[in-house]
Chains A and B, each alone.
Chain A
Amino acid sequence: MKTRHRLKFLGAALIAAASFSAFAADPIKIGISITQSPPGSVVQGTQVKDAVEIVKDMVNKQGGVLGRQIELVYEDNQGIPEKGRAATEKLITVGKVVAVTGSHQSSVCLAEIEVAKRYNIPYVNTNCWADSVRLKGYPQVFNAPIYSTRVAESVVEALLKLGTKRAVMFCENTDYGIGAAKAIGEAIKAKAPGIDYKYETLDRAGKDFTPAILPLRANPPDVVLLAMLPPPAYIVMNQLYEQGVAPSAKTWLFDTAGLADYPDFWANVKEAGKYMLNFALYHPQMNLPKLATDIGQTYTQRTKNDPNRLIYQAADSLLFIIDAIKQAKSTDADAMIKAMAAMKFEGTRGTFTIAKDAGPKFQQMVDIPSVIYQITEVGQSTGKTLLIEGPGVPLSTAKLMKPAK
């Protein structure tokens, strides 16, 4: 076993040595930390991977950045903070990447940004909504996705329009879920103190949520809100429907996590998804820049799936880094971070600036377009859904449909 060790570490030493002697023609390495195996969401991980691959090929075809090609280095974070920490550290110390992005789960982001800060490497959050990622106020961390407080604001607007008196939120017991639930609580206190609101946290590993749902059968609220990710989200939806709680003639079902975006959504829910209201970040009826449509088409070609917000967030995350390298004319961390903070960034979802003000908006791309729509048929594609709010579409609940019972 001695020899095996020696070999292994000799190898390691060589790798290190090699990557020290980097010269101009070497590709620029960018680290992608995503979930490629459970318990995290492999579905999302794969979407992020597909998207950044498209962007990489695009950029490299146009000759790369600073005359160097882009190379993506992947690490699997399994959706586990601990693994995310290790993955990021490996990307930085072994992969020698100039920036890290890709992460799509708040708890993982929160572990990874600690490493990014320790090694002072720019980190672009791809899909972590939790405010807490911003509240840390780390200068190395930039945020491409929407954030819970902002979601809460538009959800509460909608709740008011729906004439809600009592709303119950089911959120997963993660930083994202509980963060979202609390954010909505805050927004209600501020904008709609009339609404009686409480949230119930559900275990991500849970299989049977009926005990949490049954009490609602006894006295149903006006709206049941969801801040959960699959697979438990699907189980909750099915059991809500099975118990006749929501969607029902009395009660709206309102998802705030963009569930309907998931490719496996309809494979897991049937009637339970019909009449559901969705807060989402992408709707085909949005008018997006050409860049977006190009990437969208390539994505459809490659994967036979329709593009969704996560595709665009991932694309933006990478494009943002690449632009920063262009602006800074170097891959030096401080230079890139400085450039990022100052940038006016042309992304797939529009043109963004980076918010400076501390708090949930810190180093956040603003303003992320969002939509609210209702699913009116089982198996409906996002394009066919009923858009009730979006860029240029003022919120109107008039057209909403309600189940007979």
Chain B
Amino acid sequence: MKTDRNAVEFRLSLALLALVALIPAAVSNPYWLGVIIVSMYFALLAAGWNLLAGYTGQFSMAPACFAMIGAYASGLLSYHWNVSPWIGLPAAIIVSAAIGMVLGRIVMRLRGPYLALTTLSFAEIMRLVIGNSYSFTRGDLGLNVPGLFDSRLVYYYVFVGVLVAVQTGLFLLLRTKAGLYLRAIRDDEIAAASRGVDVVFWKTAAFTMSTAMSGLAGALYGGFSQLVSPELGLIAQTGLVICMVVIGGIGSLIGPLLGAFLVYASSEALREVGGVQLIVFSFLVIVFARFYREGLWGLAKRAFMRKPA
């Protein structure tokens, strides 16, 4: 039964995170720790996007954009009114959730590719606006923001903690009626409505949740890198997130994590080979979407299922 399936995926993702939590014992070099922190940032985005795309069937093209919005929300607060990043963090969540809700409310009344189209335009244009509002946002230069902690290790475990929290939250959410409604909407909006599910409300809710998660991720990342720039919102970043989810396994709890760590780690490796990472990944995504639609996690599952038989 689905709930069992979720439970399995949930336990596995916790195991995966536990493994990640052990890495610092082996690796002390701040750069490599940084690499893993960034991949955890992407894991957050991927999880948020998967809730929307994988479980609700709504394809937003703006996860990176909302990360950027979150980062700027807290960044601008501290830059202009030197508000502590600890207030900036919740502020970031609220701002990105609010924008998400308004955008969602407008677009979610429509079915089909409207969301993808509108969010993509929104993302590109938000980036331009932030890039052009030089006097307020310092444009492409970005904002230098104070960090949340001094020690990289603390960041590391904060990210691990947040990921655990998010995964647990998602797991519990999927067990409530919301989980049923979202998946129902993904499979057939008309049927869902005709069986009493308030489609617009739940779609908007899912969109708001995922933008809030992106916002949180962005603010955390801003605090970690101590630099907030429009670069965070590049479409290519969203592309990376989508690659991670599709390769890892869309519509599963563990897929996005798997994808985030694998894709980002190998993208570090590929960068040495000369920046071919996006070529490889986008190609992989096409292959997966075309032939292995359940991604690596799906393949793994099939492998396990064969064993006993």
A interface residues (Cβ-Cβ under 8 A, vs B): 1-2, 4-6, 8-10, 12-13, 15-16, 36-37, 76, 80-83, 85-86, 89-90, 93-94, 106-107, 110-111, 114, 173-175, 178, 201, 203-205
Contacting residue for B229 out of A1, A9, A12, A82, CB 8 A = A82
The answer for the CA separation of A93 and B27 in the assembled complex, in Å, is: 13
The interface residues of chain A lying within 8 Å CB-to-CB of B142 are 81-82, 107, 111
Contacting residue for B141 out of A5, A6, A12, A110, CB 8 A = A110
Known: A5-B261, A201-B134. A175 touches B141 (CB 8 A): yes
The interface residues of chain B lying within 8 Å CB-to-CB of A110 are 141, 144
Determine if A173 and B231 form an interchain contact, defined as CB atoms under 8 angstroms apart.
Answer: no
Known: A76-B271, A173-B140, A201-B134. 9 other contacts (CB 8 A): A4-B265, A8-B269, A9-B23, A13-B27, A36-B275, A81-B141, A107-B142, A111-B141, A178-B134
The answer for the CA separation of A80 and B232 in the assembled complex, in Å, is: 10
A89 nearest CB neighbor, chain B only:
B31
List 21 A-B pairs, Cβ < 8 Å: A1-B262, A5-B23, A5-B265, A9-B26, A12-B32, A13-B29, A80-B229, A81-B227, A81-B229, A82-B227, A89-B30, A90-B31, A106-B141, A107-B141, A107-B142, A110-B144, A111-B141, A114-B226, A114-B227, A173-B132, A174-B141
Determine if B27 and A85 form an interchain contact, defined as CB atoms under 8 angstroms apart.
Answer: no
Contacting residue for A1 out of B26, B128, B131, B261, CB 8 A = B261
Determine if A94 and B131 form an interchain contact, defined as CB atoms under 8 angstroms apart.
Answer: no
The answer for the CA separation of A111 and B229 in the assembled complex, in Å, is: 10
Known: A9-B27, A203-B131. A89 touches B141 (CB 8 A): no
The answer for the CA separation of A1 and B15 in the assembled complex, in Å, is: 13
The interface residues of chain A lying within 8 Å CB-to-CB of B262 are 1, 4
Interfacial residues of chain B within 60-97, with CB under 8 A of chain A in the complex: none
The interface residues of chain A lying within 8 Å CB-to-CB of B258 are 1
The answer for the CA separation of A203 and B127 in the assembled complex, in Å, is: 12
Contacting residue for A81 out of B27, B140, B261, B271, CB 8 A = B140
The interface residues of chain A lying within 8 Å CB-to-CB of B232 are 82
CB distance from A194 to the nearest CB of B (A): 27
CB distance from A261 to the nearest CB of B (A): 22
The answer for the CA separation of A168 and B29 in the assembled complex, in Å, is: 51
A114 nearest CB neighbor, chain B only:
B144
The answer for the CA separation of A205 and B262 in the assembled complex, in Å, is: 32
B142 nearest CB neighbor, chain A only:
A81
Known: A8-B269, A201-B134. A173 touches B227 (CB 8 A): no
The answer for the CA separation of A106 and B139 in the assembled complex, in Å, is: 12
Known: A16-B28, A173-B140, A174-B139. A37 touches B275 (CB 8 A): yes
Interfacial residues of chain B within 226-258, with CB under 8 A of chain A in the complex: 226-227, 229, 231-232, 258
The interface residues of chain B lying within 8 Å CB-to-CB of A114 are 144, 226-227
Say whether chain A's binding surface is mostly helix, strand, loop, or mixed: helix
A106 nearest CB neighbor, chain B only:
B141
The answer for the CA separation of A378 and B29 in the assembled complex, in Å, is: 54
The interface residues of chain A lying within 8 Å CB-to-CB of B225 are 82, 85-86
Determine if B227 and A93 form an interchain contact, defined as CB atoms under 8 angstroms apart.
Answer: no
The interface residues of chain A lying within 8 Å CB-to-CB of B141 are 81, 106-107, 110-111, 174-175
The answer for the CA separation of A247 and B201 in the assembled complex, in Å, is: 59
The answer for the CA separation of A12 and B23 in the assembled complex, in Å, is: 12
Which residue of B19, B23, B139 has the most chain A CB atoms within 10 A of its CB atom? Answer: B139
B298 CB–A CB distance under 8 Å: no
Determine if A12 and B128 form an interchain contact, defined as CB atoms under 8 angstroms apart.
Answer: no
Determine if A203 and B132 form an interchain contact, defined as CB atoms under 8 angstroms apart.
Answer: yes
A10 nearest CB neighbor, chain B only:
B26
The answer for the CA separation of A114 and B226 in the assembled complex, in Å, is: 9
CB distance from A88 to the nearest CB of B (A): 11
The interface residues of chain B lying within 8 Å CB-to-CB of A76 are 271, 275
The answer for the CA separation of A150 and B44 in the assembled complex, in Å, is: 47
The answer for the CA separation of A83 and B232 in the assembled complex, in Å, is: 10
The interface residues of chain B lying within 8 Å CB-to-CB of A4 are 262, 265
Q: What 5 A-B pairs have minimum CB-CB distances, sorted nearest first? A: A93-B31, A107-B141, A82-B231, A9-B27, A12-B32
B179 CB–A CB distance under 8 Å: no
The answer for the CA separation of A107 and B27 in the assembled complex, in Å, is: 32
CB distance from B228 to the nearest CB of A (A): 9
The answer for the CA separation of A80 and B231 in the assembled complex, in Å, is: 7
